A and B are shown apart, each in its own frame.
Chain A
Amino acid sequence: MSGLDQLLLDPTRLAIVSLLSGAKWAEFGFVRDTVALSDSALSKQVTTLAKQDYVEVRKGYVGKRPRTWLNLTATGRAALAAHAEALQDIVASARADGAAHRPEE
């Protein structure tokens, strides 16, 4: 299974990356609340993903309030697409095996 990504086999990281794949930029707070993580837990996961160049982090201000935005990079999107395809293949081959071994009525 060449497309499977070890990093994305972790359900929390898959949730973060999947969430970011539907957005151009998402606020850190939105990702934290949606994936139900603490600030520190999300920071840790984001650091891991950023080290692999899957996620880009930008910090800034909106008015006087500090904000952090997250973006899934092209590398991250490609890894997720390959991972999703590999998952799909696992499901499809299991279905095909099931159909082949189904007893005839």
Chain B
Amino acid sequence: MTRPDPDEAAAAMRELQRRQGQAGRGARMPRWLWIVVAVLFAAALAQRDFLPRDVSSWVGLALVAVLLLLSLTSYSRRGSSLLGQAVQPLRALVPVRRRLQIMGGMLVLIIGFVLLTRLDLPYVSTAVGVVGAVLIVAFGPRFRDWTLGVRGGP
């Protein structure tokens, strides 16, 4: 068996890491999908301020169902391709600590939102929806890169 010399071995290690990074970047969601998610998120919250309560709960549920469906679609091979992702990410690579950080962050956001709605401010759901949508479009891709451990590069 051929044994690589130390320089070749080091180069192979660098190549391995570079290729793993490329796979992560291939799993990025296209921009249009972030915009769709942001619009659905804003609509799901804003409709609470504009529709009668009996209609609002159904519309809200339907919009959340669409968001869930989009999320679940990316978990399948065909679904990922359909959403424009050439690579289906390997979520098993996400460290447990990072998963806990994300869940904790989500919990804080949900509690914050519930507390805000208790204040009975006008159009608070719309305001939260719009701010959330802007944050999703602006920082969503970077946040997803962080969760999947993808570093830099276009």
Closest to B24 in A: A22
- The count of residues in chain B whose C-beta lies closer than 8 Å to any C-beta of chain A is 34
User: CB distance A1 to B1 under 8 Å?
Assistant: yes
Chain B binding surface SS class: helix
Contact A19 B13 (CB under 8 A): no
Tally of A-B Cβ pairs under 8 angstroms:
107
**Majority secondary structure, A binding face:** helix
Query: Are B6 and A18 interface neighbours, CB within 8 A?
Result: no
Q: Mark A16-44, 1 if CB is under 8 A from B, else 0.
A: 00111111111101100010000000000
Verify B12–A24 contact, CB threshold 8 A: no
A62 in contact with B89 (CB, 8 Å):
no
Between-chain CB contacts (< 8 Å), 24 pairs: A4-B1, A14-B12, A18-B16, A19-B19, A19-B23, A21-B23, A22-B19, A22-B20, A22-B87, A22-B93, A23-B88, A24-B91, A25-B80, A26-B23, A26-B26, A26-B87, A58-B77, A60-B77, A60-B78, A67-B81, A80-B16, A87-B9, A88-B9, A94-B6
Alpha-carbon gap, A69 to B26, bound state (A): 13
Contact yes or no, B2 A14, CB < 8 A: no
Chain A interfacial residues counted at CB < 8 A: 35
B1 touches A84 (CB 8 A): no
* Contacts of B1-43 to chain A: CB distance below 8 A: 1-6, 9-10, 12-13, 15-24, 26-27
